[in-house]
Structure formats: C-alpha cells, structure tokens
C-alpha cells in the first residue's frame, strides 16, 4: 500500500471539501440536534458524502467510519479503516467562526498511519504520514 500516493490522491478532495463547506455556510445552513445532543448541519452531511465518495474510490477495500453515518460504527473487528470527521467543530462552523476542521485518518492494523486535516476558514491544511 503506497500511503503517500493515497494521501496525494486525496489532497484536492480535502481542499474542495473545504471550499464546499464555506459555500454551504455562505448559503445558509440547516441544523439539527443529534441523539447525543450535539449539532449537525447539512454542511456536515454534504461534506461527509463528498469526502467518503472519493475515499471509497481511492481505497475501495478499506471501510469508512464516520461521525455522521452509522455504517461500521459498531464493527469492533475492523483493523483497517478510515476514521472521518467531516466537520470537527460544528458549533463554530454553524456560528460562522473559524475554528473547524475537515479530518480523516487512515488506520492500518489498529494504528494511525496517515491523515488529512483542512481548516478552510483559516486557509490551512495539513497532510501527514507516520
């Protein structure tokens, strides 16, 4: 598995996901409260779908665990998976603040090996490989 290639293939997706998050926020977000009493917006869901689609095309054999979907959340047997939080800091995102990020980490054999973080309102992004 070429981790550097995987991350390079996803960089543009994370930059575009950041643009998408800001465009959606500019148009106006709808929000709900999840069962755990935390907010979720249509931006969280749309960014999640956008990122998940690309991750699945780049690494089709690696499942995704996302904060915004129930798929794979209860599968404690997974050793290889993507861990996605499409909008970390939804409260700030909804309230037009800068402190939110778009995140994904690749876990292989139960250890983090790579990740992507984009802070689109601050125009900062980070890619990392272990």
Q: Tens digit of pLDDT for each residue in 68-125?
A: 986 766 677 899 999 999 999 999 999 999 999 999 999 999 999 999 999 999 988 7
Residue range 3-129, CATH number: 3.30.540.10
- Residue 130's pLDDT band, with cuts at 50, 70 and 90, is low
Taking every pair of Cα atoms in the chain, the longest distance, rounded to a whole number of angstroms, is 41
The residue-averaged pLDDT of 3-31 equals 95
Beta carbons of 119 and 22 less than 8 angstroms apart: no
- Residue 37's pLDDT band, with cuts at 50, 70 and 90, is confident
Residue-range domain boundaries for the chain = 3-129
**CA torsion, points 69, 72, 73, 79, in degrees to nearest 10?**
-140
Beta carbons of 106 and 112 less than 8 angstroms apart: yes
Q: Are strands 64-66 and 111-119 parallel, antiparallel or unpaired?
A: unpaired
Q: Measured between alpha carbons, how far is 17 from 11 in angstroms, rounded to an integer?
A: 10
What local confidence, expressed as pLDDT, does residue 128 receive?
A: 67
């Amino acid at each position: 598995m070429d981790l550097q290639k995987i991350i390079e293939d996803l960089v543009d997706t994370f930059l575009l996901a950041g643009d998408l998050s800001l465009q959606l926020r500019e148009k106006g977000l709808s929000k709900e409260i999840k069962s755990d009493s935390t907010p979720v917006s249509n931006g969280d869901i749309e960014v999640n779908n956008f990122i998940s689609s690309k991750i699945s095309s780049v690494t089709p054999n690696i499942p995704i665990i996302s904060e915004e979907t129930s798929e794979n959340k209860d599968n404690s047997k997974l050793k290889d998976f993507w861990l996605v939080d499409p909008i970390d800091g939804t409260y700030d995102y909804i309230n037009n603040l800068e402190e939110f990020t778009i995140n994904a980490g690749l876990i292989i054999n139960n250890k983090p090996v790579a990740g992507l973080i984009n802070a689109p309102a601050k125009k900062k992004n980070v890619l990392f490989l272990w």
